[in-house]
Structure 1
């Protein structure tokens, strides 16, 4: 007997995850690295994430090994997972992605490619701290 399919993702979460994947693909196209390293996820996890949230072309680099994360990145992921209290696959994926993208130099929402937050900055809704 096959397990039931996962519940559909809330529309905002699905849109945000698709934006994160699209941004990482753009970074990859710009020569910034392989997709697993850009998102901090093993290829198998990326494949599962894509099956749930991605409606674009097949993701590249799923067979590429993930480089071990630096200690700061691993600590951030652990803190996010611990504080979040959830053990779902989605929360684990998001913790790893947030931790990895937090290692970039810009604002986290920019490094994630979240368009709604990007548009709000122009309106002054988000201020630089």
Structure 2
């Protein structure tokens, strides 16, 4: 059992078992926020993101925290294969890896749509090493969820998603000159690559769907939710 201090200095015990993450009577912090704190040792609101490595660690912790609070295997919810998750945890969160690794099993679902988004991201990688490959899989998988992409990645706002994409998938991010919503932009690029015209008009401002592509993306971070959930099935 791991004691996780809340904002009011109470302790929310988090138990990590092979198939269950349990947060006992945690009124002050969301399940995802509690797991983020276990991974990083701090609240998401106080995340260190000044340098690139700290930012990458924050992003990985945010995605994993959200994935671990949802029903289904963490491999399926995060989009990352079991072998890669073991390496990721050992490299970025070594202090806690041995508690999480026993719960890792299975492989991501073979989803054609997520695969197309992943391949689009991989074709536009701008960083070296495994992290770009992992993030391509993670972003693609989380893009299949219904909310704003930054929310389903567990990030704090859209600007963090833009920074992630600019850092690791620079050519793609820089081509979003109109600041289109990221999920809509991904699909527009996929359609363009296949020679399909997705838009009903040649000028965005004349389109009836303008607000769907460029509308407000405000919302509440998954790290900020207050929930009285006693048990969260992680796989």
TM superposition score normalised by structure 2: 0.42
Q: 1:61 aligns with which of 99, 103, 112?
A: 103
| Structure having the higher Rg | 2
**RMSD value over aligned CA atoms?**
2.7
Q: 1:100 and 1:82 mapped to 2: Cα distance?
A: 16
Larger strand proportion, structure 1 or 2?
Answer: 2
Contact 2:73 2:106 in 1 (8 A): no
Residue equivalent to 2:216? 127
SS at structure 1 position matched to 2:72: coil
For residues 64-103 of structure 1, what are the structure 2 equivalents within 5 Å?
A: 64-86=105-127, 88-103=129-144
- 1:95–1:67 Cα change, 3 Å: closer
Q: How big is the shift at 1:40?
A: 1.0
Contact 1:36 1:65 in 2 (8 A): yes
Tell me, which stretches of 5 or more residues in structure 2 are unaligned? 1-51, 161-214, 219-235
Q: How big is the shift at 1:89?
A: 1.0
Q: 1:38 and 1:102 mapped to 2: Cα distance?
A: 11
For residues 1-129 of structure 1, what are the structure 2 equivalents within 5 Å?
A: 10-27=53-70, 32-54=71-93, 55-56=95-96, 58-59=99-100, 60-62=102-104, 64-86=105-127, 88-115=129-156, 117=157, 127-128=216-217
Indicate the larger mover: 64-73 or 41-50. 64-73
TM superposition score normalised by structure 1: 0.73
Which gives a bigger RCO, structure 1 or 2 (Cα 8 Å, sep 6+)?
A: 2
Larger helix proportion, structure 1 or 2?
Answer: 1
* CA displacement, residues 17-74 of structure 1 (integer Å, 9 cap, x when unaligned): 11111111122xxxx2110000111111001111122354622532x22144211111
Q: 1:26 and 1:15 mapped to 2: Cα distance?
A: 17
Contact 1:23 1:112 in 2 (8 A): yes
Contact 1:43 1:61 in 2 (8 A): no
Q: How big is the shift at 1:87?
A: 5.4
